Amino acid sequence: MKAIEVTGRIDSQGNLVLDEPIQGNTYPHQLRVIVLVPEQAETEEVDPDDTPVEEIKASLRRALQQVKAGQTRPISELWDRVDAE
The mean pLDDT value for 15-30 works out to 84
| pLDDT one-digit tens code per residue, 65-78 | 998 998 888 888 77
Question: What is d(CA 40, CA 44) in angstroms, rounded to the nearest whole number?
Answer: 6
The CB-based long-range contact list for 64-70 (8 Å cut-off, 24+ gap) reads none
**pTM greater than 0.85 (yes/no):** no
Q: CA torsion, points 74, 78, 83, 84, in degrees to nearest 10?
A: 110
Give the chain's mean pLDDT: 82
Listed in sequence order, the residues at least 6 apart from 33 whose beta carbon sits closer than 8 Å to its beta carbon are 16
Bridge partners (DSSP) of residue 10 are: 16
Residue 18: predicted pLDDT = 92
Residue 48 has pLDDT above 90, yes or no: no
Bridge partners (DSSP) of residue 8 are: 18
Residue 45: predicted pLDDT = 62
Residue 31: predicted pLDDT = 85
Mode of pairing for the β-strands spanning 16-18 and 8-10: antiparallel
